[in-house]
């Protein structure tokens, strides 16, 4: 061998079950653990596939907590065939999602799951007509009627509807909804007790923006 040949550094080993399990254990007190323990191998495999790609390896090394939370946001398929997250306190949503009737119902029901145990959301109905560019959304939050008229612009979500519904939910409980960094067309929303936000941000090393900013 040529004496001055530089040896290639060994490829870093992706985190295994013990490391991922330890990270999940630190998320658990914030209510952001796995809903089902049997999903741990799925998460470990997803992290290994992600962190093993050269183009994503640096991101995992620099922001492992944020990347793990994005992976936990799923989706996975539940027993009803619906796409849900691996942790119910996380919601992964594509803003280019308005296809017709039911689009806003899906969003409100996903929020109800993320805020489960905090409020009761019932009577969710909507009307969406992309041709006439008209839409309506109705639901009841803890018995209070909510009627909104989303703006229809192609298949884009009206972000004001998300902010409005989240704000109404937060007014009735001690939890808040926050956005993870790195969102683009899609986003991950995380529900935490508001009192836990500083400790959670310190753990993951990132600031979280509120979905519904408070005055």
Q: Which of 77, 100, 126 is the last residue of a domain?
A: 77
Q: Could you tell me which residue, 14 or 135, shows the higher pLDDT?
A: 135
Domain hosting 60: range is 17-77
Closest CA to 175 of 184, 162, 166, 183: 166
Same domain as 116, residue 54: no
Same domain as 101, residue 206: yes
**Is residue 7 in a domain?**
no
**Is residue 10 in a domain?**
no
**Is residue 3 in a domain?**
no
**Is residue 134 in a domain?**
yes
CA 40 vs. chain centroid, Å, equals 18
DSSP, res 80:
T
pLDDT given at position 107: 96
Q: What percent of the chain has pLDDT over 90?
A: 71
Same domain as 72, residue 94: no
**Is residue 24 in a domain?**
yes
Q: What is the pLDDT of residues 140-168, one digit of tens each?
A: 999 999 999 999 999 999 999 999 999 99
Same domain as 118, residue 205: yes
Name the pTM for this structure.
0.87
Same domain as 199, residue 123: yes
| Exposed e or buried b per residue across 64-99, where buried means at least 16 C-beta atoms within 10 angstroms of its C-beta | bbbbbbbbbbbebeeeeeeebbbbbbbbbbebeebe
Q: What is the pLDDT of residues 52-64, one digit of tens each?
A: 777 777 888 888 9
**Is residue 9 in a domain?**
no
Same domain as 107, residue 43: no
Res. 171: pLDDT tops 80: yes
Least confident range from 68-72, 74-78, 200-204: namely 74-78
pLDDT given at position 77: 66
Same domain as 200, residue 112: yes
Q: What is the pLDDT of residues 77-104, one digit of tens each?
A: 665 567 789 999 999 999 999 999 999 9
Same domain as 38, residue 108: no
pLDDT given at position 9: 46
Q: Looking at residues 103-128, what average pLDDT do you find?
A: 96
Same domain as 71, residue 95: no
Q: Looking at residues 174-181, what average pLDDT do you find?
A: 95
> Inter-axis angle of helices 64-72 and 197-204, to 10 degrees?
110
Tally of domains within the chain: 2
**Is residue 47 in a domain?**
yes
Same domain as 135, residue 205: yes
Same domain as 36, residue 97: no
Tell me the pLDDT band of 181, cut-offs 50, 70 and 90: confident
Sheet containing 134-141, strands listed edge to edge, beginning at the edge strand earlier in sequence? 121-129, 134-141, 144-148
Same domain as 58, residue 94: no
Mean pLDDT of the chain: 89
């Amino acid at each position: 061998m040529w004496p001055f040949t530089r040896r290639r550094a060994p490829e870093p080993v992706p985190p295994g079950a013990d490391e991922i399990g330890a990270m999940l254990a630190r998320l658990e007190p914030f209510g952001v653990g796995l809903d089902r323990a049997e999903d741990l191998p799925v998460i470990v495999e997803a992290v290994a596939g992600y962190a093993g790609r050269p183009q994503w390896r640096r991101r995992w090394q620099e922001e492992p907590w944020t990347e793990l939370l994005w992976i936990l946001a799923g989706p996975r398929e539940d027993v009803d065939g619906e796409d849900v997250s691996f942790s119910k306190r996380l919601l992964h949503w594509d803003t280019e999602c308005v296809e017709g009737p039911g689009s806003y119902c899906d969003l409100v029901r996903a929020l109800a799951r993320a805020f489960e145990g905090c409020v009761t959301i019932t009577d969710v109905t909507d009307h969406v007509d992309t041709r006439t560019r008209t839409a309506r959304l109705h639901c009841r939050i803890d018995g209070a009627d909510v009627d909104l008229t989303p703006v229809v612009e192609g298949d884009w979500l009206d972000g004001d509807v998300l902010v409005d519904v989240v704000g109404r939910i937060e007014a009735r409980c001690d939890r808040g909804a926050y956005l993870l960094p790195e969102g683009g067309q899609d986003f991950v929303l995380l529900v935490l007790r508001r009192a836990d936000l500083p400790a959670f941000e310190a753990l993951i090393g990132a600031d979280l923006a509120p979905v519904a900013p408070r005055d």
